[in-house]
Structure 1
Amino acid sequence: MITLAITSSTALVGVAIANVGNGGLLAERSILTDRRHAEEITPMLAAAVAEAGLSIADIERIVVDVGPGRYTGMRVGIATAKALAFALGVPVASITSLDLIARAARELTCHDGPIFAVVDARRDQVFAQEADEAGLVGEPLVLSPSELADRLPSHALLVGDGADRYVAQFETVATVRRNVGPSIAIGALLPAGYPSGPGRLVAPVYMREPDAAINIKTRHSAPPTKKPRGRR
């Protein structure tokens, strides 16, 4: 099964193509960018398809990172996945950024304790979820770094850009493995039996209002500033 995987919910924008069950990973492209998700993803996709020696029409399944993470970034990836799925008539599988990060950590380390995937949520918050050898545990959380640090069990390993950003707060109570992002190659290699469906059903995992909405509410709730009166 020729699978295209897309991630753009964090600063890492990437695509990968794999022949699941017959050939493995065929191509992978990724870049770290702060704001250029939309500009990077289309040429990256074209380069990966060319490297794999395929055409877009050969794609049989799409896997997309649905967040949580950066609102604009995740919408770029999801919109791309939906458009391609509609044009090609292929199913889409959703996977969270936290799951991709946790899976990457399990491949990169021999850690035998709990793993926490941590994504920077900005506004002094993180998205976090625990994982063990079987996969994700419980529900994802949005909380402050100090709140997460207070909840961590002993011998925990933290990974993800949220762990990187707040490493000073975490490293006193846990181990932090730096520079572990969503592994798009792992997404492309998800087994054929991984749940998928129509692209129209794919939805982003926000977990919090978009920053733009929060900014508007903050401005509206702030008391009006008084203009200084001129001298008579």
Structure 2
Amino acid sequence: MRVLAVDTATDAVVTGVAELSADAGVSVLADRTVTDRRRHAELLTTLIAESLAQAGLGGPDLDGVVVGCGPGPFTGLRVGLATAAAYGDALEIPVYGVCSLDAMVAQEQSAGGVIGTALAVTDARRREVYWALYRDGHRVAGPNVVAPQTLAEELAGTSIDVVVGTDGFTDRFEATPGSTQRPSVTGLVTVAASAVLARSVPEPLVPLYLRRPDAVELKDQKKRR
């Protein structure tokens, strides 16, 4: 099965096409990633088109779409979700949403880097981080958003084997740094593999904003004051 993968939950726009085998093996046919937190909307459709061209496929050749649902900043995240939903609707194929942090840990695990307990942490801006904790690849806490120092204090008594995510935050924890810094095509498709292969009816896409957006209507600004 051929799957389009999209993620805009971090400062990078991640797109690609992967082939999913019957035993849930993932082979990446195309991968286009550009880091630019201010141009998600401008870059996304172009990178999808480039990914399809690189894979030698057209839209009708796809069997599904997998999209990262965050957690992530409001503006970038909604670009990815809206675009994935539009492709699914236009091509009449299912769209599967996955936690972007799950995809990062799945990527690290596929590369042989996750053993035991893993922490995924990404930049949430406003001096905060998004995070989730995993044991043997399964999420046991999070996703949530908190100040880095607060998270370090909360996890002070937890033995963590590997930490993946944004540079500048991963080094605050006593754990082996992984090689994964953002969601990948392999990780995204791996998380959704069982649902895609089963041709399950996907759940509605729910963005993991975890907090209110930066931009609010004037009436809400007055309420805050």
TM over 0.5: yes
Which of these residues, 193, 196, 205, is aligned with residue 195 of structure 2? 193
Residue identity matched to 2:42:
E
The structural deviation recorded for 1:167 is 4.7
| Preserved CA contact (<8 Å) 1:13 1:40 | yes
Is 1:133 aligned to 2:136, yes or no?
A: yes
Going from structure 1 to structure 2, the CA distance change for 1:90 and 1:30 (only over 3 Å counts) comes to same
| Preserved CA contact (<8 Å) 1:14 1:184 | yes
Equivalent residue pairs, number: 217
CA RMSD of aligned residues (A): 2.6
- Distance in 2 between the 1:15 and 1:118 partners? 21
SS at match of 2:195: coil
Is 1:182 aligned to 2:171, yes or no?
A: no
The structural deviation recorded for 1:54 is 1.0
Is 1:159 aligned to 2:160, yes or no?
A: no
- Distance in 1 between the 2:115 and 2:170 partners? 21
Unmatched 5+ residue regions in structure 1? 223-232
Going from structure 1 to structure 2, the CA distance change for 1:130 and 1:24 (only over 3 Å counts) comes to same
Residue 119 of structure 2 is matched in structure 1 by 116
TM-score, structure 1 length as denominator? 0.82
Residue 63 of structure 1 is matched in structure 2 by 66
Q: Give percent identity, aligned residues only.
A: 34
The structural deviation recorded for 1:84 is 0.8
Q: Deviations over 1:49-97 (max 9, x none)?
A: 1111111111110000011112111111101111111111111111111
Q: Deviations over 1:103-124 (max 9, x none)?
A: 1222345443311111211112
| Preserved CA contact (<8 Å) 2:41 2:76 | yes
SS at match of 2:120: strand
The structural deviation recorded for 1:131 is 1.1
- Distance in 2 between the 1:134 and 1:182 partners? 15
Residue 52 of structure 1 is matched in structure 2 by 55
Is 1:15 aligned to 2:15, yes or no?
A: yes
| Preserved CA contact (<8 Å) 1:105 1:180 | no
Is 1:212 aligned to 2:215, yes or no?
A: yes
Residue 79 of structure 1 is matched in structure 2 by 82
Residue 94 of structure 1 is matched in structure 2 by 97
- Distance in 2 between the 1:109 and 1:193 partners? 23
The structural deviation recorded for 1:133 is 1.6
Going from structure 1 to structure 2, the CA distance change for 1:166 and 1:25 (only over 3 Å counts) comes to closer
Residue identity matched to 2:85:
K
Unmatched 5+ residue regions in structure 2? none
| Preserved CA contact (<8 Å) 1:90 1:198 | no
Residue identity matched to 1:148:
L
Which of these residues, 35, 39, 49, is aligned with residue 38 of structure 2? 35
| Preserved CA contact (<8 Å) 2:114 2:136 | no
Going from structure 1 to structure 2, the CA distance change for 1:87 and 1:144 (only over 3 Å counts) comes to same
- Distance in 1 between the 2:89 and 2:202 partners? 8
